[in-house]
């Protein structure tokens, strides 16, 4: 498309006095001016000479077609007609208060579409214009011809109107699409003015309430090259950011990641939950040739992502096993045409579908594979908390050696990170970008879980009623049954709650998920099947009614709170009984028998969670960040965790010798005691005023089981009623001898009253 054609089209459509956008998408809307002072309160009067109204879709958003692509074949007449449909909106702030919520949202979506269209015209013109040297976005934009430059003014007015509508919606507490950068800005109180040139590209902003950049593995000097604004794609990238995604600035590391992948480098991005990883591959996909293939672990996640992208008019498709042959043919045709910018699929499809294999090979041979994205890349490593064997067998590097890889995750320790790089065969010079995992707006606390189920459900209810009335939240439960019982309980207490778990039909699950996102349900009682990829901004609390299986999982699950950057709470219910139950479920599950190595990993991940819960001294935030090998000064916690708020003193005590005594009681009575019986037996034996309490003995015994100094075996108890669960009895464990030789230290964090003389 030549600039001359744009210029001609623009000139023929430029109205005499002022421009106004005509918005409307249905025949009935065409009959009345949607944005006129006469019919719509809050909007200025229309100019005198009006072009005929056209539906928005006909005017410049042809259905089923990609907006960015649709311009290429447009004739000057078509363009003129589309441009004629663009006129400018002015909003009278006082009168806008009278707009209904529905009208506001409607205006907003139409403004978004209009903004995208104008920018596309500008972008095409800028690309076609002769470069004035330097290649920066500012210099490129200066070179565009006058008539097209006139559109920029129009665009700026639209952007201001959009910003106004977004902030009005926010003030009214309305839920907008979360991906709206303008909304973020209004939340953060930044300037509503839209300077859409270099500043956005050169000065990345932080994600709300997320500290950034604890350490990077790629040196700062090396990163400088990816902060430049003179790449051939820089102008396009700025426009894509603003006009396709509706965002104003990049967050920390997004710009570098995008430039690195567009430069053909392998990239590893470690960014906290809600940090904005998707943009790191979605934006580059729209800035270069070919198709970006995204490997993502969950079908529901894939479907959600693709429909959000399609709503933004981005040509994205997915390929999944259960598709009809017609759908497959459609996908193949679209892919072959080179129109598809993003193709999502599961790792299983990559490893086992010959159909997909052929498509990828054909794209590869035609140089149309832009990059592979491995989302949730921690699944590649068996050291991660969510290992998926198919992720390990992708073989992308060997099958498509010249295609750059981009791996992203929110959760990876150093060990997992280096394992992922090795498994994926990332180039040794892969650009590695990490951000601090600190979510400063989240408040962490651990509470003692009452023994009786009814009491602990009541406690959940009390917390929600007292602190989160009318606020959205998630309660994570261990089992399907627990989700259902808790949801029923809350509903009886007049809290709108729903259960969500993998045992439910998928349409029921999506209905519940969308009901929650639309605020029809306040609380979701869910297993960890719920949450991945859910981008709800104002989740004010995440309660773990049972223990998470790992600190990584905990971080990820709590990370669903406060994605809008506002204060939110993460409350973990902890009991010894739960930790034991979870341990034996994980380790002895008949459905999923574990290899000895997997058992070891699962055991140690859970033990870290138990340690985290039982530690009443250390700052929770520092502990979480330490897990990800990041240092955090507890003084900066500012009492945003229960331990930093606590006035009680706890100390870490070495109980190795006491543990040896406990072990000797078990050796003398193998299979005689359950945990509770042994705790009361040894506490009786010890006696005395400075003794360890029975509860603390219970903790010690559980710790000895975790460390394999003791082991449990389940036996039926014929004297108990038939419905009673079988009891587990204690024996010496495989590491008992190590303990006796004092080579297995056992320490516990305890209130200082028990510390007398035993502080470690
Ligand atoms: N540069 C930006 N400016 C403002 N908002 C942004 C920016 N980048 C991303 N966001 C928004 O942040 C939110 C989270 O982004 P995204 O879903 O990509 O996070 P994520 O890192 O993939 O999180 P998770 O690991 O939890 O899936 C989205 O609503 C997204 O639109």
628 and 664 housed in the same domain: no
More confident residue, 529 or 577: 577
Q: What is the CATH number of the domain that holds 622?
A: 3.40.50.300
CB 681: neighbour CB atoms within 10 A? 18
Boundary-marking domain end, from 623, 646, 669: 646
Atom of ligand 1 nearest to the CA of 376: 25
pLDDT for residue 381? 81
348 and 288 housed in the same domain: yes
Boundary-marking domain end, from 434, 466, 482: 434
Q: Which of 113-127, 196-210, 658-672, 715-729 has the highest mean pLDDT?
A: 658-672
Q: Which of 200, 207, 253, 278 for a ligand 1 pocket mutation test, highest count of atoms within 8 Å of Cβ?
A: 278
pLDDT for residue 748? 86
Contacts of 184 (CB under 8 A, 6+ apart): 208, 247, 248, 564, 565
What DSSP string runs through 709-732?
SEEEEEE--TTS-TTSPPEEEEEE
Q: Are 660 and 668 in contact (CB under 8 A)?
A: no
CA dihedral 633, 634, 636, 639 (to 10 degrees): 170
pLDDT for residue 401? 92
In the block, residue with structure tokens 């990800």: 628
678, β-bridge pairs: none
ipTM score here?
0.98
Question: What is the CA(275)–ligand 1 centre distance, in A?
Answer: 5
678 and 637 housed in the same domain: no
Kind plus residue range of the DSSP H or E element containing 579:
helix 576-588
Least confident interval from 312-316, 509-513, 752-756: 752-756
Q: Which of 41-45, 261-265, 712-716 has the highest mean pLDDT?
A: 261-265
Quick: pLDDT tens for 531-562: 776 778 899 999 999 999 889 889 989 999 99
640 and 655 housed in the same domain: no
Q: Which of 24-33, 152-161, 196-205, 666-675 has the highest mean pLDDT?
A: 666-675
Question: What is the CA(273)–ligand 1 centre distance, in A?
Answer: 8
Q: Going by CA atoms, what residue is nearest to atom 7 of ligand 1?
A: 276
d(C-alpha 491, C-alpha 524), whole Å: 11
Atom of ligand 1 nearest to the CA of 280: 18
* pLDDT above 70 as % of the chain: 66
Query: Does residue 215 lie in a domain region?
Result: no
* pLDDT above 90 as % of the chain: 31
CA dihedral 20, 26, 30, 33 (to 10 degrees): -50
Q: What is the mean pLDDT of residues 238-251?
A: 90
Q: Going by CA atoms, what residue is nearest to atom 29 of ligand 1?
A: 179
Q: Is residue 14 exposed (0-12), middle (13-18) or buried (19+ Cβ within 10 Å)? A: middle
Whether pLDDT at 55 is above 90:
no
CB 286: neighbour CB atoms within 10 A? 24
Query: Does residue 177 lie in a domain region?
Result: no
Question: What is the CA(153)–ligand 1 centre distance, in A?
Answer: 29
Q: Which of 163, 533, 535, 536 for a ligand 1 pocket mutation test, highest count of atoms within 8 Å of Cβ?
A: 535
In the block, residue with structure tokens 């794609």: 233
Quick: pLDDT tens for 358-387: 889 999 999 999 999 999 998 888 666 667
Question: What is the CA(749)–ligand 1 centre distance, in A?
Answer: 38
Q: Which of 181, 202, 203, 274 for a ligand 1 pocket mutation test, highest count of atoms within 8 Å of Cβ?
A: 274
Q: What is the mean pLDDT of residues 194-215?
A: 31
Spell out which residues line ligand 1, taking CB within 6 angstroms.
Answer: 178-179, 181, 184, 247, 249-251, 254, 271, 273-279, 410, 533, 535, 559, 563
349: its two tokens:
């499809």
d(C-alpha 165, C-alpha 68), whole Å: 25
Question: What is the CA(279)–ligand 1 centre distance, in A?
Answer: 7
Q: What is the mean pLDDT of residues 454-476?
A: 96
Q: Are 653 and 751 in contact (CB under 8 A)?
A: no
Angle formed by the axes of helices 254-262 and 277-285, to 10°?
40
Chain-wide mean pLDDT for the chain? 75
Query: Does residue 727 lie in a domain region?
Result: yes
Least confident interval from 72-81, 645-654, 701-710: 72-81
232 and 275 housed in the same domain: yes
407 and 459 housed in the same domain: no
CB 193: neighbour CB atoms within 10 A? 11
Query: Does residue 153 lie in a domain region?
Result: no
Q: Which of 182, 242, 276 for a ligand 1 pocket mutation test, highest count of atoms within 8 Å of Cβ?
A: 276
Question: What is the CA(300)–ligand 1 centre distance, in A?
Answer: 18
723 and 624 housed in the same domain: no
Q: Which of 279, 342, 559 for a ligand 1 pocket mutation test, highest count of atoms within 8 Å of Cβ?
A: 279
φ/ψ of residue 648, rounded to 5: -75, 155
Question: What is the CA(278)–ligand 1 centre distance, in A?
Answer: 6
Atom of ligand 1 nearest to the CA of 248: 3
Q: Going by CA atoms, what residue is nearest to atom 8 of ligand 1?
A: 276
CB 123: neighbour CB atoms within 10 A? 19
Whether pLDDT at 466 is above 90:
yes
Question: What is the CA(453)–ligand 1 centre distance, in A?
Answer: 37
pLDDT confidence bin for 445, thresholds 50/70/90: very high
466 and 388 housed in the same domain: no
d(C-alpha 685, C-alpha 692), whole Å: 11
Question: What is the CA(384)–ligand 1 centre distance, in A?
Answer: 22
Total of domains in the chain: 3
Q: Going by CA atoms, what residue is nearest to atom 25 of ligand 1?
A: 273
Question: What is the CA(276)–ligand 1 centre distance, in A?
Answer: 3
454: its two tokens:
């009814």
Atom of ligand 1 nearest to the CA of 185: 4
- The closest alpha carbon to 257, from 371, 339, 338, 354, belongs to 371
Question: What is the CA(582)–ligand 1 centre distance, in A?
Answer: 32
Atom of ligand 1 nearest to the CA of 249: 1
- The closest alpha carbon to 405, from 371, 431, 381, belongs to 371
Q: Are 59 and 81 in contact (CB under 8 A)?
A: yes
Question: What is the CA(728)–ligand 1 centre distance, in A?
Answer: 46
Question: What is the CA(251)–ligand 1 centre distance, in A?
Answer: 9
Question: What is the CA(569)–ligand 1 centre distance, in A?
Answer: 20
465 and 317 housed in the same domain: no
Pairing outcome for strands 747-751 and 650-654: antiparallel
Longest Cα–Cα distance of the chain, Å, equals 100
Query: Does residue 268 lie in a domain region?
Result: yes
For the chain, helix (H) and strand (E) counts, in that order, are: 34, 17
Atom of ligand 1 nearest to the CA of 204: 1
Q: Going by CA atoms, what residue is nearest to atom 6 of ligand 1?
A: 276
CB 174: neighbour CB atoms within 10 A? 15
Residue 453, CA atoms < 13 Å, CB-side half-sphere: 8
pLDDT confidence bin for 191, thresholds 50/70/90: very low
Range of the domain at 345: 220-434
Atom of ligand 1 nearest to the CA of 559: 26
525, β-bridge pairs: 475, 499
Q: Going by CA atoms, what residue is nearest to atom 1 of ligand 1?
A: 250
290 and 385 housed in the same domain: yes
pLDDT for residue 410? 83
Q: How many residues does the chain have?
A: 760
573 and 718 housed in the same domain: no
In the block, residue with structure tokens 């430059």: 149
Q: List the 267-270 sheet strands across, edge first.
A: 316-319, 342-345, 291-295, 369-374, 405-409, 267-270, 431-434
509 and 413 housed in the same domain: no
Rounded to whole angstroms, what are the CA distances from 685 to 518, 662, 693, 694?
58, 10, 12, 11
CA dihedral 69, 70, 72, 77 (to 10 degrees): -170
pLDDT for residue 614? 92
Query: Does residue 700 lie in a domain region?
Result: yes
pLDDT confidence bin for 724, thresholds 50/70/90: low
Query: Does residue 94 lie in a domain region?
Result: no
Q: Is residue 672 exposed (0-12), middle (13-18) or buried (19+ Cβ within 10 Å)? A: middle
Question: What is the CA(272)–ligand 1 centre distance, in A?
Answer: 10
Q: What is the CATH number of the domain that holds 665?
A: 1.10.10.10
Q: Going by CA atoms, what residue is nearest to atom 27 of ligand 1?
A: 533
What DSSP string runs through 431-497?
EEEE----BTTEEEEEEEPPSSHHHHHHHHHHHHHHH-TT-EEEEE-SSHHHHHHHHHHHHHTT--E
Query: Does residue 553 lie in a domain region?
Result: yes
Boundary-marking domain end, from 408, 434, 460: 434
């Amino acid at each position: 498309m030549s600039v001359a054609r744009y210029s001609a089209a623009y000139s023929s459509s430029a109205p005499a006095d002022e421009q106004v956008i005509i918005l409307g998408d249905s025949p009935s809307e065409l009959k009345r001016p949607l944005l006129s002072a006469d019919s719509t309160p809050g909007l200025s009067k229309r100019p005198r000479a009006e072009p005929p109204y056209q539906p928005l879709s006909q005017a410049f958003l042809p259905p089923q077609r990609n907006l960015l692509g649709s311009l290429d074949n447009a004739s000057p007449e078509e363009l003129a007609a589309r441009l004629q449909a663009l006129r400018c909106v002015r909003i009278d702030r006082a009168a806008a208060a009278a707009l209904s919520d529905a009208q506001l949202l409607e205006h907003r979506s139409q403004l978004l579409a209009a903004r995208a269209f104008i920018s596309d015209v500008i972008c095409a013109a800028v690309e076609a214009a002769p470069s004035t040297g330097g290649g920066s976005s500012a210099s490129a934009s200066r070179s565009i011809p006058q008539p097209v430059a006139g559109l920029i003014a129009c665009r700026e007015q639209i952007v201001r109107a959009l910003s106004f509508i977004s902030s009005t919606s926010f003030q009214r507490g309305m839920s907008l699409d979360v991906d709206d950068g303008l909304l973020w800005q209004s939340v953060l109180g930044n300037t509503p003015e839209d300077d859409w040139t270099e500043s956005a590209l050169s000065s990345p902003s932080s994600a709300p309430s997320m500290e950034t950049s604890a350490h990077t593995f790629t040196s700062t000097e090396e990163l400088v090259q990816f902060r430049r604004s003179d790449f051939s794609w820089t102008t396009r990238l700025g426009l894509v950011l603003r006009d396709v995604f509706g965002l104003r600035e990049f967050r920390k590391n997004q710009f570098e990641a995008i430039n690195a992948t567009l430069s053909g480098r392998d990239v590893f991005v470690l960014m906290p939950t809600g940090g904005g990883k998707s943009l790191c591959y979605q934006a580059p996909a729209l800035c270069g040739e070919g198709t970006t293939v995204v490997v993502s672990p969950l079908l529901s996640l894939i479907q959600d992502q693709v429909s959000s992208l399609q709503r933004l008019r981005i040509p994205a498709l997915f390929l999944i096993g259960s598709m009809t042959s017609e759908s497959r043919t459609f996908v193949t045709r679209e892919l072959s045409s080179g129109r598809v910018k993003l193709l999502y699929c599961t790792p299983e499809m990559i490893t086992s579908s010959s159909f997909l294999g052929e498509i990828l090979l054909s794209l590869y041979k035609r140089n149309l594979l832009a990059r592979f994205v491995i989302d949730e890349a921690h699944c590649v490593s068996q050291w991660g908390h969510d290992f998926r064997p198919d992720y390990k067998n992708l073989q992308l590097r060997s099958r498509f050696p010249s295609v750059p890889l981009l791996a992203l995750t929110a959760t990876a320790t150093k060990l997992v990170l280096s394992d992922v790089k090795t498994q994926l065969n990332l180039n040794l010079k892969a650009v590695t970008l990490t951000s601090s995992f600190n979510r400063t707006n989240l408040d962490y606390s651990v509470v003692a879980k009452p023994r009786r189920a009814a009491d602990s459900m009541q406690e959940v209810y009390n917390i929600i009623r007292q602190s989160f009335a009318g606020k959205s939240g998630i309660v994570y439960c261990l089992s399907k049954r627990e989700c259902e019982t808790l949801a029923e309980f809350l509903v009886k207490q007049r809290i709108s709650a729903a259960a969500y778990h993998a045992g439910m039909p998928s349409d029921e699950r999506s209905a519940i998920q969308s009901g929650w996102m639309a605020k029809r349900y306040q609380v979701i009682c869910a297993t960890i099947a719920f949450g991945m990829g859910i981008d709800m901004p104002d989740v004010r609390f995440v309660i773990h009614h049972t223990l998470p299986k790992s600190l990584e999982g905990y971080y990820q699950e709590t990370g669903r709170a406060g994605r809008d950057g506002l204060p939110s709470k993460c409350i973990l219910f902890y009991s010894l009984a739960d930790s034991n139950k979870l341990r034996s479920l994980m380790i002895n599950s008949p459905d999923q028998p574990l290899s000895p190595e997997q058992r070891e990993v699962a055991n140690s991940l859970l033990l870290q969670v138990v340690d985290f819960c039982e530690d009443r001294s250390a700052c929770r935030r520092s502990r979480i960040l330490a897990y990800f090998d990041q240092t955090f000064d507890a003084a900066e916690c500012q009492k945003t965790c229960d331990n930093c708020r606590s006035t009680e003193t706890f100390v870490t005590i070495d109980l190795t010798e006491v543990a040896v005594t406990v072990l000797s009681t078990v050796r003398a009575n193998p299979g005689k005691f359950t945990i509770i019986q042994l705790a009361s037996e040894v506490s009786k034996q010890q006696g005395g005023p400075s003794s360890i309490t029975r509860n603390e003995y219970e903790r010690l015994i559980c710790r000895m089981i975790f460390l394999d100094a003791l082991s449990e075996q389940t036996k039926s108890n014929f004297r108990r009623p038939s419905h009673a669960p079988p009891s587990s009895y204690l024996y010496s464990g495989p590491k008992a001898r190590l303990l006796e030789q004092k080579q297995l230290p056992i320490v516990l964090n305890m209130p200082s009253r028990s510390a007398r003389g035993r502080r470690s």
